[in-house]
A = this chain, B = another copy of it.
């Protein structure tokens, strides 16, 4: 956690018509279909910067959600994260119209090569003067694997083994290959770089052989800020060893507290300063000028949740075909262990409630597992402040429902209250994304495993 007393905000979004609020693109005034336009995104960037956001956090997925019903029909019909464009190309345009806003990019270690990815992030870190983060994921859809040259998706253990080695290669390319003073730029002597300061990394591993050296000179942050969101045991181990910032997708305060404590313990066990990890739970703010206005907005949002689309999205997340269940069946009467287990993630948020499948889909339709906070600007700010002070998190990944109405509301109504309370700085803090998000930088902390 950083030294100052500011919370950090990241806008959580995706380069697609639908992200995690299935059906919301049908809400009156929703602009999601403009995701293909550069202007849509530069407007988002300006609004987020005006609100004092630290970064825009881009989700991404490869493949199509074809678990539900065993085919892709629902996903295509309802636009369930399909089609989805590459988010990384939004960054340079959004950087061009902002001064300080950062950008977190989700990239999978399963379908790319570390020598390639390292170059892409170095380039972006140069072009944005160090405003880049890398949200490391390992992918979960079979349809991505088959399209990208694998016969089938790797099992989870293999994906994480590969991710471990992938990060080792990237760290070596980013941190070790070029000395800080390797680039000399001495025109008189015709010497651009000193070859003694540019080293091979000679990586030979299970998944990759990468001799190096890195093809890029050092960028402001070298390693981008490392984000992660692992929730399984193996995922938590990976996050503890790699993450500087953690996106928590637990649905309740209690489960976030448990998660934060667990990750800090695991990080400490690896020799890291456990306070150095920053945590960002997802949150879905629904704000109105009055409590009644906020409630009315919330009702309209719930009305536009597309239950079938929501089930298609959940089926992909859970790798379980929920089309086989009667939507009006109560969860307690579902006997399949896999489904019961995975549904628990959602029903835990209100354990006494007698949930049906449809109700779970509706609940998760405003931002999957994240808490929804409905109220006046003051009430929403109260809840954010309470989480910040009592749960011990560092800020929030703010999820949109209506685009761009949810963000506009938040920036126009809630951010001024947060600023007034001193929870957001009056002026954007200067420096790289690492400095703005973690209060330290521009380089990876000395206790990070990549540097030791």
Q: Do A195 and B116 touch across chains, with their CB atoms under 8 A apart?
A: no
A85 touches which of B17, B33, B123 (Cβ 8 Å): B123
Of A77, A112, A185, A195, chain B has the most CB atoms within 10 Å of the CB of A77
Partner of A96, one of B42, B123, B127, B209: B42
Residues of A202-225 at the interface with B, using a CB-CB cut-off of 8 Å, are 208-217, 219
- Asked if A26 is at the interface of the complex by the 8 Å CB criterion, the answer is yes
Judge if A400 is at the interface, Cβ distance under 8 Å. no
Judge whether A115 and B212 touch: CB under 8 Å.
no
User: Is the beta-carbon distance between A192 and B77 smaller than 8 angstroms?
Assistant: yes
A193–B76 CB distance below 8 A: yes
Q: Which of B89, B143, B147, B185 interacts with A92 by CB under 8 Å? A: B89
A422 interface residue per 8 A CB criterion: no
Band of interface residues on A: 35 or more
Task: List the B residue with the shortest CB-CB distance to A126.
Answer: B36
**In the complex, A23 has a CB within 8 A of chain B:** yes
Interface residues of A in 70-118 (CB under 8 A from B): 72-73, 76-79, 82-86, 88-93, 95-97, 111-113, 115-116
Cβ-defined partner of A89 (8 Å) among B111, B127, B188, B190 = B127
* Among A115, A143, A209, residue most surrounded by chain B Cβ atoms (within 10 Å): A115
Q: How far is the CA of A153 from the CA of B68 in the complex (A)?
A: 42
Set B96, B128, B198, B306: member contacting A190, Cβ < 8 A: B306
A64 touches B127 (CB 8 A): no
Q: How far is the CB of A236 from chain B (nearest CB, A)?
A: 29
Q: In this assembly, does A399 line the interface, its C-beta being within 8 Å of a C-beta of chain B?
A: no
Name the B residues within 8 Å of A79 (CB-CB). 192-193
A127: B residues at CB distance < 8 A: 36-38, 85, 89-90, 93
Interface string of A24-42 (1 = CB under 8 A from B): 0110001001001110001
Q: Offer 25 A-B interface pairs, CB within 8 angstroms, sorted by A.
A: A17-B192, A25-B192, A26-B188, A26-B190, A36-B126, A36-B219, A37-B126, A38-B95, A38-B127, A38-B129, A76-B192, A76-B198, A77-B191, A77-B193, A77-B194, A78-B190, A78-B192, A79-B192, A79-B193, A86-B123, A89-B89, A89-B92, A89-B120, A115-B147, A115-B148
- Known: A36-B219, A64-B215, A85-B127; 16 extra A-B contacts, CB below 8 A, are A18-B192, A37-B126, A38-B127, A62-B215, A77-B190, A78-B190, A79-B192, A84-B216, A92-B96, A93-B93, A96-B97, A115-B147, A146-B209, A147-B211, A147-B212, A149-B208
Binding site for B on A (CB under 8 A): 15, 17-18, 23, 25-26, 30, 33, 36-38, 42, 62-64, 72-73, 76-79, 82-86, 88-93, 95-97, 111-113, 115-116, 119-120, 122-124, 126-129, 143, 146-149, 185, 187-188, 190-195, 198, 208-217, 219, 306, 309
